[in-house]
Copies of this chain bind each other. A is one copy, B any other.
Amino acid sequence: MQVTSFCAIVSIMKVTHSQLSKDAKRSSCPIACVLDILGDKWTLIVVRDLFFGKTTYSEFLASEENIPTNLLAERLKRLTSAGVVERIQYQDRPKRYAYHLTEKGQDLHHVLVALVGWGNKYIPETISLKEIEKRVTIGGSDSKGDDLLK
């Protein structure tokens, strides 16, 4: 049997269109490229939590926005493979993992500050960075959110 077309190859590979183009950029525009990584309703919420010192899967799950658990898992994988976060095993028996922002992830600081600034200015009932910190951190304890609070 001879493969006669690109589509035939694709069907043999059992690769869908979205998988095929998963790493193909839509354009070389930085905005489009960044949106391919961060452009959805949940990813930057996880990044926010990381800025405020959350590190574990169950801590992210506990945030008031209630991210579905499968989406949290998928987003953490995406952020990890994008080099924005690192996953570190901090305990054996039972195995436990901590997620941390890499330098690349910490540099999203400016993006989050810009979003908070715009939200606070134009969306009523929106709370300030300091108030977010109180809500996000568990009991306002050992937060690194000061990174965000400048």
Contact = CB atoms under 8 A, between A and B. Distances in A.
Contacts of A27: 64-65, 135
A123 interface: yes
B104 A26 contact: no
Interface stretch (A6-14, A30-38, A54-62, A69-77): A30-38
Nearest to A113: B114
The dominant DSSP class at the A interface is: helix
Copies in the complex: 2
Interface size range of chain A in the complex: 35 or more
A108 B121 CA distance: 11
Interface in A40-70: 40-42, 44-45, 48, 64-66
A86 B123 CA distance: 18
Interface string A112-123: 111111111111
A150 to B, nearest CB: 14
A34, A44, A125 — most chain B CB neighbours (10 Å): A34
A27 to B, nearest CB: 5
A125 B29 CA distance: 9
18 contacts: A27-B64, A27-B65, A28-B125, A29-B48, A29-B126, A29-B127, A29-B136, A30-B116, A30-B119, A30-B132, A31-B116, A31-B132, A34-B123, A35-B41, A35-B115, A39-B44, A107-B118, A111-B115
